Structure 1
Amino acid sequence: MEELLWFGEGEKYVKVVFSLASKITPSVIFVDEVDNMLGRRENTGEHEAMRKMKNEFMVNWDGLRTKDTERVLVLAATNRPFDLDEGYSGTDLKNLCVTAANRPIKEILEKEKKEHAATLAEGKPAPALSGSSDIRSLNIEDFKHVHQQVYQAAIKLPGDA
């Protein structure tokens, strides 16, 4: 009975961790060996309490219960990346993040280039350069764009023509 009680505590602990993280934002929740905790949910031999804990974690991780003002980052590590991401290495994911983070900077540089060319054509003095506060925040569209433009074109998945 004690083992079932311990297993049943997992769902509660997940709620507590995310609740605390949202109260002290910005915060980072780090999960080591996430593959052990969040393996496939369709495992038939899995205990009901473990499935509930996984579901609670995924709901919180996905942000379904978070407010727009909360800044909680979930960072996970694994020794078995192929069990989690269909084959992207840590380097692939790092490059995706760096390229996506550069997208807002590239946008502002392009804008300044166009403005500079337009003012020179009109004979006006060059406009002031943008500051770091003028750069927009990174968003999910940056990641989608980079993934679509760079990784979809560079990586042929099995079955692709």
Structure 2
Amino acid sequence: WSGILLFGPPGCGKTLLARAAATECRATFFSASSADLLSKWLGESEKLISSLFKVARLKAPSLIFMDEIDSVATKRGEGSESGGERRVKTQLLSEIQGLKSTHDKLLLVLGATNRPWDIDNAMLSRFEKRVYVPLPDLKGRTGIFKIHTEGVDTTLKNEDYIELAVRSEGYSGRDIANVCREALMLPIRELDTSGLLESSDKDIKIRDLTLEDFTITLKKVKPMTSKALLRQYTNWAEEFGEV
């Protein structure tokens, strides 16, 4: 394959997967978002894209990761697509197509999107393999909670982490990171409320993080991906992708 598309809810680790793939393949990693490629100067964006692929070929084996690719590859006629955006899309299509025509096996384009249904059909066809990156499962959520509390003094046991994973069904990795960040702040806020943070006592100790801290936080921090949106991803995956 010369092009692979990762699609799924935001915050599920598509960027991490891309970096891991480059590391595993011992490939030079290039990361380019729509903000990196779109320029207000006429013709500059096309030059940036052309230069990106030229350098990637020089540094081969290479992996070009294009995040939010739907931003530069919206379906034709949708929204208020400018002439500049059309030229950028055309240049990108040409570069990816060039990988196929030259049978370049040392350069891979890995695109990522939260909105695969918005991608132009011509661009979509350049990505022969489309991989659904879903929300983390129970085991994944357990691991994410452990990662984000590593090095922190807690009273949590393994069964507590599993319980948190059960309670956080429907949360993305980013959602869980937000939960952990908020929970970590609770003991600090308690010290602030009590006025101890203003004390000159250098022996003030922040209490250990508890399961109750996460119980409180999970009530406040809700998942960002709705069930309706999840169904939309599943339906698109069944029709166009590879689950």
Measured against the shorter chain, the TM-score band is 0.3 to 0.5
TM-score by length of 1: 0.46
> Could you say which structure has the higher strand fraction?
2
> Whose relative contact order is higher, 1 or 2, with alpha carbons under 8 Å and at least 6 apart?
2
> Could you say which structure has the higher helix fraction?
1
